[in-house]
Amino acid sequence: MKTLNIIPLLLAVLVFAASKFAFANDRYVEAMQKNIEAVYKAQTPQEIQNIVNSFERIGETEKTKWEPYYYAAYGYLMMALREKESAKIDNYLDQALKAVGRASALNPAETEVIVMEGFVHMIRVTVDPASRGQQFSGLAFQSFGKAVALNPENPRALALLAQMQYGTAQFFGASTKEACETLAKSLNKFDSYKSDNPLAPQWGKGMAEEMKSKCN
């Protein structure tokens, strides 16, 4: 009889715990979506830095979530792309790579994180192609190749791989056919790729479409 009386109590506790978890998760998703939208729209380094700070605070609270550090890395990368001074670019890229490392520690098989790592290496090349090309181009190709192998459907992995292939082909005076074929695949994936994650990245299609004009 006592056992029967305990069962409803246990069920009530489980329902309460589940609802509490769901509420906390909803708050997390809501906060992240708000900041993701903001970082996509931000224009100035200060605007981006403020949003990055928010992502990092969320990451400190949500200790099992990789997305806050992923988007912090994205923000640092966007600041690097807006900067002219090499030392400052490198500093932003260092911060981006640190955030990537934290995201990777939480979810090492997440291809979006691997793509972001490759993106950081790719931008590192642009600071000084002559002295950095061999090292960082290799690292970028390695990251993009790994991401494509893990998830051939990821459009960002294909789009950035296409960029690297195109730049390398131009540097050596070779055909850009392979790069343009990879780009075409990425554009198809942008139209068809779906993710169950409500915080999945949405960036990259515009970049791929800009490159398309080079392949016509």
CATH number at residue 96: 1.25.40.10
27 burial level (CB within 10 Å; 0-12, 13-18, 19+): exposed
Rounded percentage of the chain residues whose pLDDT exceeds 90: 86
Residue pair 199/65 in contact by the 8 Å Cβ criterion: no
Give the pLDDT band of residue 14 (cuts 50, 70, 90): very low
Tokens of 60: 């400190």
Task: Count CA within 13 A, CB hemisphere, residue 1.
Answer: 0
Query: What is the pLDDT at residue 80?
Result: 97
Domain count, the chain: 1
Q: Where are the alpha helices (DSSP H) in 42-128?
A: 45-61, 67-81, 86-106, 111-127
The closest alpha carbon to 113, from 163, 150, 63, belongs to 150
- pLDDT tens across 122-135, in order? 999 999 999 999 99
What is the reported pLDDT for 25? 83
Residue 182, token pair as written in the block = 């990879």
Torsion of CA 178, 180, 185, 191, to 10 degrees: 170
Query: Is the predicted pLDDT of residue 9 greater than 70, yes or no?
Result: no
* Predicted pLDDT at 8: 53
The pLDDT of residue 19 is: 42
Q: pLDDT tens for residues 89-119? A: 999 999 999 999 999 999 999 999 999 999 9
Q: Could you give the C-alpha distances from 108 to 17, 114, 119, 147, 148, in angstroms and in order?
A: 29, 8, 16, 11, 14
Return mean pLDDT, the chain: 91
What is the extent of the structural domain holding 25?
2-215
pLDDT of residue 13: 42
Q: What is the pLDDT of residues 156-174, one digit of tens each?
A: 999 999 999 999 999 899 9
